A and B are shown apart, each in its own frame.
Chain A
Amino acid sequence: MVSSNTTAQDRARSDASVPRYSTRIATVINSALYRHTLGAAVESRIGRVILLAGVPLIWLIMLHVGPIYQMLKISLLSHYPVQPGMESHFTLDNYAIFFRESLYFTPLIKSFIFATAATAVTLIVVYPVAYYVAKVVKPQGRSRALLLLLVPFWAGELIRTFSVIMLLANRGAVNVLLREVGLIDRPIPMLYTSFSLGFGLVYLICLYMLLPLYSAIEKIPSPLLDAAADLGAGPFTRFRRIILPLSRDGIVSGCCLVFLTCIGVFATPMLLGGPTTVLFPETISGFFHGASDKWPVGAAFALIMLVTALAAAAIFMRLVGGRKKRAI
């Protein structure tokens, strides 16, 4: 019924000279406005290239590269924003400040220690879980097992951080439970310490580790493991000789993702950390709020952090990932 209708319409249109389309697009395509603008542009090769590449290239250069470039430029200026009556000149002093004062140096070191520790703990904790879902759970139950792991991550950074407070506060679940059981008399101060910050970081980022690990482990052919077992390899040997080397890609991308996320986390240290756990992002943020003439210093510090973090990730990739052709 419907199809015969369309063919009848098509037949009625077939004698027209302009190409016809059976939808509302036709009215747009056949309008004079379209034929003289877009329609004319796609006729020539150069027009097609401009249409295809123009907007994407402008966006990528302006907004993916532009901000980093501007940050670099401002980090080399003595004053920004420039106040009336003040001259701004080229200087490397903003970078020198970082190396002069341990006040600034320590937070970066702390940031790296926290991010590295959180990455290592996450890898160790999440690896068995990813392996369990990818290889032990039967294929039909796999997506449900995975879904259960995803649920908490729809909560968002801030809500997850907030929920950790419920667990670790002085009158939070852990302390109250321990006191009820009679193990402690007074609450253990856990919140606003390195412990709560580490706990919160791991809680925040374990999904970024889980997904790459899961997809890498899932790709390992199960017959390979069976063959190894038949040849007498115990569980530990199979893990060390087959599973671990073949899931290396997942480990590398998971660790890099988690590490770079941890380095850039801003709200969590402010909510879960204390005075002893001031991390570098908080230090940088100080230059942008309040005294505005410290922007160049903040920009320089942000660049120092970006370069060191990416370098650390690249070194890790090289060390663990080995030499491999990178595919897009």
Chain B
Amino acid sequence: MRAMFSDAPRVTLAAFYWAFILYLLLPLTLMMAMSFKDANFVAFPIGDWTFDWYGEVMQDKQFLEACLYSIMIAAATTLAATILGVWISMLIVAEGIRGQVIIFALACLPAVVPGMISAISLRIFISTIDMPTGTAAIILGHTVHAVPFVVVMALTRLRSMPGNLVDAARDLGADSVVAFFRVTLPYLGPALFGGMIFCVLLSIDDFVRTFFLGGYRLTLPMLIFAKVQGGMSPEINAMATLVLVVTAAVGLYAEHLTRRARTR
């Protein structure tokens, strides 16, 4: 009797969990299934199945260009955000410097400002410094967005670092720069790699900053947005499915790496 009672909440929770998983996965599954529909309109039931839309997408020059452009922006963003993020977190953990709480708050500011407002303030900012909209502006915007996440990830790792590691390097004759590159940076390694992949996903996913800062070249989210507004076709589903599969694979790989780093 007692066992039955204590089991009831457990079973209810499990059922709720699986219902929630279903809720999360159902729309994406439907979207993927629709990419195989053999008709040029989006509607259920699917009826005949085909792979044709994927062939179409792979020959779509606009899509391939958008892919390359997004990847290029993500790579530049990740590089810049990682360097800046690590640099800022080094400043926050440094000894003998005051106002670290303020520096940390400033570093996290872009993560608290809602995306839309961040995009607008950046749009205004680049116009005040006479910077044209376009690739450089997008990279700048994405970097501002990504830096707080790198800072938080690097800080977590830096705080767990034994202080005597750097001291030992200094005793052995390394100056601060050498100690950073030979001791601190390798120690940050795994956490940093996870952070970098997160930057890539943030940049590839970003719509609102690109919308305000971009020029005429379309990134992936911009292309999908334009296509959805232009009218539904299973081609968009095929496109979105391809992007989803690739980003999910990258995300899964990052998750795997960070987990391995944590258990080691």
Interface size on A, residues (CB 8 A): 92
- CB of A183 closer than 8 Å to a CB of B: no
| Bound Cα distance A158, B144 (Å) | 21
> Is there contact, CB below 8 Å, between A302 and B120?
yes
> Is there contact, CB below 8 Å, between A264 and B208?
yes
> Is there contact, CB below 8 Å, between A284 and B120?
yes
> Is there contact, CB below 8 Å, between B27 and A163?
yes
Chain-A contact segment, one of B60-68, B109-117, B187-195: B109-117
7 examples of A-B residue contacts, CB within 8 angstroms: A63-B125, A68-B109, A71-B120, A132-B13, A149-B20, A263-B114, A271-B225
> Is there contact, CB below 8 Å, between B106 and A60?
yes
- CB of B24 closer than 8 Å to a CB of A: yes
Q: Mark A158-171, 1 if CB is under 8 A from B, else 0.
A: 11101111110101
| Bound Cα distance A25, B181 (Å) | 9
Chain A: minimal CB distance from B171 (Å):
12
- CB of B79 closer than 8 Å to a CB of A: no
Partner of B176, one of A23, A48, A271, A305: A48
| Bound Cα distance A125, B16 (Å) | 9
Q: Mark B74-106, 1 if CB is under 8 A from A, else 0.
A: 000000000010011011101001001101101
Contact flag A265-B115 (CB < 8 Å), given A25-B182, A128-B16, A158-B207: yes
**Interface set of A (CB-CB < 8 Å, partner B):** 19, 21, 23, 25, 29, 38-39, 42-43, 48-49, 51-53, 55-57, 59-61, 63-68, 70-71, 74, 81, 125-126, 128-129, 131-133, 136, 143, 145, 147-160, 162-167, 169, 171-173, 176-177, 203, 206, 235, 260-261, 263-267, 270-271, 281, 284-285, 288, 295, 298-299, 302-303, 305-306, 309-310, 328
Determine the chain A residues whose CB is within 8 A of the CB of B199 once the complex forms: none
Q: Mark B233-261, 1 if CB is under 8 A from A, else 0.
A: 00011001001100110111001000100
- CB of B212 closer than 8 Å to a CB of A: yes
Partner of B16, one of A19, A67, A129: A129
> Is there contact, CB below 8 Å, between B244 and A159?
yes
| Bound Cα distance A163, B5 (Å) | 40
Determine the chain B residues whose CB is within 8 A of the CB of A39 once the complex forms: 175, 177
Determine the chain A residues whose CB is within 8 A of the CB of B182 once the complex forms: 21, 23, 25
Return the chain A residue nearest B43 by Cβ: A171
Chain B: minimal CB distance from A138 (Å):
12
> Is there contact, CB below 8 Å, between B91 and A52?
yes
| Bound Cα distance A305, B117 (Å) | 8
Determine the chain A residues whose CB is within 8 A of the CB of B252 once the complex forms: 147, 151, 154
| Bound Cα distance A149, B25 (Å) | 9
Partner of B9, one of A148, A166, A235: A235
> Is there contact, CB below 8 Å, between B247 and A266?
no
| Bound Cα distance A285, B208 (Å) | 10
Determine the chain A residues whose CB is within 8 A of the CB of B174 once the complex forms: 19, 21
> Is there contact, CB below 8 Å, between A19 and B173?
yes
Return the chain B residue nearest A133 by Cβ: B17
**Interface set of B (CB-CB < 8 Å, partner A):** 9-10, 13-14, 16-17, 20-21, 23-28, 30-31, 34, 42-45, 84, 87-88, 90-92, 94, 97, 100-101, 103-104, 106-107, 109-110, 112-125, 127-128, 140, 143-144, 147, 173-178, 181-182, 201, 204-205, 207-208, 211-212, 221, 224-225, 228-229, 232, 236-237, 240, 243-244, 247-248, 250-252, 255, 259
> Is there contact, CB below 8 Å, between B124 and A164?
no
Partner of A172, one of B44, B208, B244: B44
> Is there contact, CB below 8 Å, between B21 and A149?
yes
Determine the chain A residues whose CB is within 8 A of the CB of B221 once the complex forms: 156-158, 267
Return the chain B residue nearest A68 by Cβ: B121
Chain B: minimal CB distance from A324 (Å):
15
> Is there contact, CB below 8 Å, between A302 and B144?
no
Return the chain A residue nearest B148 by Cβ: A64
Chain A: minimal CB distance from B174 (Å):
8
Chain B: minimal CB distance from A275 (Å):
15
| Bound Cα distance A284, B182 (Å) | 49
Q: A51-B176, A149-B20, A169-B42 are in contact. List 19 more A-B contacts (CB 8 A).
A: A25-B182, A29-B178, A56-B84, A56-B90, A59-B88, A63-B143, A71-B124, A154-B247, A154-B248, A158-B221, A162-B240, A163-B30, A176-B43, A260-B112, A260-B114, A266-B116, A288-B123, A302-B116, A302-B120
| Bound Cα distance A53, B97 (Å) | 9
| Bound Cα distance A328, B159 (Å) | 11
Partner of B121, one of A21, A49, A71, A153: A71
Chain B: minimal CB distance from A274 (Å):
14
> Is there contact, CB below 8 Å, between B112 and A150?
no
Determine the chain A residues whose CB is within 8 A of the CB of B90 once the complex forms: 52, 56
> Is there contact, CB below 8 Å, between A56 and B103?
yes
> Is there contact, CB below 8 Å, between A266 and B21?
no
Top 7 closest pairs, chain A to chain B, by CB: A264-B114, A67-B121, A171-B43, A154-B251, A163-B27, A156-B205, A67-B125
| Bound Cα distance A309, B116 (Å) | 12
> Is there contact, CB below 8 Å, between B120 and A152?
no
> Is there contact, CB below 8 Å, between A132 and B27?
no
Determine the chain A residues whose CB is within 8 A of the CB of B24 once the complex forms: 149, 151-152, 203, 206
Determine the chain A residues whose CB is within 8 A of the CB of B100 once the complex forms: 328
> Is there contact, CB below 8 Å, between B228 and A328?
no
